[in-house]
Amino acid sequence: DVVVVGSANADLVVRVERHPAPGETVLGSELAVHPGGKGANQAVAAARLGARVALLGRVGADQHGRLLRESLEHDGVDHGHLHDTPAASGIAMIAVGPQGDNSIIVAPGANARVTEGDVLQAAPLLRSAPVVSLQLEIPLPAVLAAARLARRAVVNLSPAAPVPDELLALCDPLVVNEHEAALLLGVPGEADRQAKSLLALGPRSVVITLGADGAVVAEDGAVHAVPSPRVAAVDTTGAGDAFTGALAWRLAVGEPLTAAAAFAARVGAAAVRRPGAQDSYPTMAEVEDL
């Protein structure tokens, strides 16, 4: 149903009493290592709901690479196009403060080695999928090549970065959170207006996720609000990736954009009820129970 072209990172998580200042050392909790990275997260989110998913990307031939592969395998994600690379696997060093405030350093490692060639080599796979799901944690030439081959490209412009007009024009939808929307447009603003302004940049459709407030969808000049169920939020890590993975799947099975976004908002809400990223992602039964 969905081919995700993107990143896989090992998340190295340490809880701290406070974040270290430059030059300072603080002692933290025991290290926890979790599978993460926006690409792998999207793939797992969709697969756990029942989608058939493949992840194209790169990991190192190291311990983290094995962890990432095992977690994809566990959720039934096809990792035949996840190549072993002579570089360290991507990692994210995540310090979590007492209020749940994160500071994060990402070392892209193998993710930085994903090339246009990798994507072109998998052209038949990408062309055969109804939806290709993308983010910006791998080099732009690979993202652009994948968007060109896709029948439909769902593009989460995250981490937010300036991108060529050609990529914008291929986004259907462009998916961003409020923060990324403000960065792209250069000004903060009310979600409806931001969505219309983003649409004017050239994508075929736009989705802005709004945390507990759900999302707005802009298509053909019209904007629709999509609510999120009320839940007790414990940890919002990876909520946007869960949203995008779920959205990609529903679009792949032919659902209209606004209905797909409403479903994705339920998946995002389910994902914030438990700690972690992939660990928190719901099954279909859990989404239906919401």
The residues assigned a catalytic role are: 241
Asked whether the beta carbons of 125 and 100 are under 8 A apart, the reply is: no
Q: What separation in angstroms does the CA of 272 have from each of 8, 15, 124?
A: 20, 18, 36
**Residue corresponding to tokens 């389910």:** 270
Q: Which of 61, 67, 182, 233 binds ligand ADP (CB under 6 A)?
A: 233
**Contact between 57 and ligand ADP (CB under 6 A)?**
no
CB of 65 to ligand ADP, least distance (A): 25
**Contact between 268 and ligand ADP (CB under 6 A)?**
yes
Nearer to ligand ADP, 13 or 129 (CB): 13
**Contact between 223 and ligand ADP (CB under 6 A)?**
no
**Contact between 265 and ligand ADP (CB under 6 A)?**
yes
**Contact between 281 and ligand ADP (CB under 6 A)?**
no
Side chain identity at residue 237, one-letter code:
T
Q: Which of 153, 168, 181, 243 binds ligand ADP (CB under 6 A)?
A: 243
Type and span of the H or E element at 225: strand 222-226
β-strand partners of 232: none
Pairing of strands 131-134, 2-5: parallel
Q: Which of 272, 281, 282, 287 binds ligand ADP (CB under 6 A)?
A: 272
The count of other CB atoms within 10 Å of the CB of residue 103 is: 12
Side chain identity at residue 278, one-letter code:
Q
Q: What residues between 100 and 159 interact with ligand ADP by CB under 6 A? A: none
275's tokens: 């700690």
CB of 78 to ligand ADP, least distance (A): 25
Residues counted in the chain: 290
**Contact between 209 and ligand ADP (CB under 6 A)?**
yes
Nearer to ligand ADP, 182 or 212 (CB): 212
Nearer to ligand ADP, 169 or 225 (CB): 225
Q: Which of 76, 189, 202, 211 binds ligand ADP (CB under 6 A)?
A: 211
Question: Exposed e or buried b for every residue in 247-267, given b needs 16+ CB within 10 A?
Answer: bbbbbbeebebbebbbbbbbb
Residue 21 DSSP one-character state = P
CA distance linking residue 19 with residue 101, whole number of Å: 9
**Contact between 227 and ligand ADP (CB under 6 A)?**
no
**Contact between 236 and ligand ADP (CB under 6 A)?**
yes
Q: Name the residues that contact ligand ADP, by CB under 6 A.
A: 177, 209-212, 214-215, 228, 231, 233, 236, 239-240, 243, 265, 268-269, 272
